[in-house]
Structure 1
């Protein structure tokens, strides 16, 4: 079962990573990979896991400028949209 918002967030982060380099690029690729895996798992992630991703994405967006920062913010928004539908909390 694919979770469309998480897959979209993963793709956006991959695009952002391709526009950067160094440690930031590695962190963006890592987040992209993790979200892609979560999107394809049988059981969806819980609020805590999503919150951790959102925190990392916020930190990354704050460390970037321009279009890349906006792309990371858009990816974070996709995670937030998915999180709204997660039961609990």
Structure 2
């Protein structure tokens, strides 16, 4: 399965982390690193793992505004795009 959406999510989250302050910035950077790792693995993440990440991103996005929030939303869209091709559930 093509992993480009996961790489795109990682890039968007890295951009958001640079715009966010403190703990939110750190959380976004960690999410970015996680998606970079997932994009490079032989086997991609399952629905449950992706859902947990999406929930965390929704929580973070609710605390942001402006460009940082737009990057998190773009990352969520990329993850959802990838998830639509994951078998199961």
- State the TM-score, normalized to the length of structure 2: 0.96
Give 1:32's aligned residue. Answer: 32
Runs of 4+ in 1 over 4 A off after TM superposition: none
Which of 1 and 2 has higher RCO (CA within 8 Å, sep 6+)? 2
Count of aligned positions: 89
The Cα shift of 1:20 comes to 1.6
Q: Is 1:41 matched with 2:50?
A: no
Deviations 1:53-83 (A, max 9, x none): 1001111111101111111001001000000
Deviations 1:29-56 (A, max 9, x none): 0000001100000001000000001001
Matches within 5 A, 1:6-85: 6-85=6-85
- State the TM-score, normalized to the length of structure 1: 0.96
Distance in 2 (CA, whole Å) between partners of 1:36 and 1:2 is: 14
Q: Any gaps of 5 or more consecutive residues in structure 1?
A: none
Distance in 1 (CA, whole Å) between partners of 2:63 and 2:19 is: 14
CA RMSD of aligned residues (A): 1.2
8 Å contact 1:6–1:35 — kept in the other structure?
yes
